[in-house]
Amino acid sequence: MDAVEKDFAESLLHIFDNVLLTEEMALSKGYFSDLSIAELHTLNAIGPYEARTMTETANILGITIGTLTVAVDRLVKKKYVERQRDTKDRRIVRISLTRQGKLAYRMHSKFHRVLVKRIMDPLSEEERKILTRTITEIDSFVEEQYKKYSSGEQYKKIVRDDTEV
């Protein structure tokens, strides 16, 4: 690895760790301190509008229905999520965010927006394009690696391990 590559590797790992740490700190000091990052991402996957089925949500998160059921049970208990049975097909359970869940979702997406704004604001139009293209390429590459190693079920475990590094 040459010096540039070394700097790049270090920065990449730093960003990775610090975004997670900052998110966690912001969360623990904020209004929704009873939520973990993984739980917030579950709220994100459910989204603030139409109720989703468990299968849809599990697919978005890349986890099994079993894992999602445990997570949703906890979120229902904390009053962030509610379950409804489909009126036409009682076998289908739909989940949606409560008012409290929608608030947490909105506050969390604000965190992401502020982060992006701070990074993008000092850049020129051209620099933004290059950065976006590069980040998208890194994202696809990391996603590919992740798929190679995991069987979906490890999503939560990975999130937890990363924060411990």
Partner 1 sequence: MDNSKKKTVEPSEEGGKPAAGFNRKEIFDVLSSMLSELLDMKKESFSEDTMIFEELPLDSLQLYELVVDLEEKFSIRIPDEAIEKIQSVGDVVDMIANAEK
Our CB check for partner 1 shows the closer of 114 and 158 to be: 114
**Contact at 8 Å (CB) between 160 and 20?**
no
26 binds partner 1 (CB under 8 A): no
* C-alpha dihedral (139, 24, 102, 67), degrees to nearest 10: 70
- How many angstroms separate the first and last alpha carbons of the chain? 22
Q: Are 96 and 82 in contact (CB under 8 A)?
A: yes
The answer to whether residue 78 forms part of the interface with partner 1 (CB under 8 A) is no
Q: Which CB, 94 or 156, lies closer to partner 1?
A: 94
The beta-strand segments (E) located in 29-106 are: 52-53, 81-85, 93-97
Those residues whose C-beta lies under 8 Å from the C-beta of residue 39, and which sit 6 or more positions away, are: 71, 74, 75, 80
The answer to the question of residue 79 lying near partner 1 (CB under 8 A) is no
**CB 81 → partner 1: shortest distance, Å?**
15
Contacting range for partner 1; rule: CB under 8 A; set: 20-28, 109-117, 124-132, 153-161: 109-117
Question: Binding residue for partner 1 (CB under 8 A) from 9, 10, 25, 31?
Answer: 31
Is residue 49 involved in binding partner 1 (CB under 8 A)?
yes
Contact flag: residue 113 with partner 1 (CB under 8 A): yes
Q: Which residues bind partner 1 (CB under 8 A)?
A: 31, 48-49, 99, 102-103, 106-107, 109-110, 113
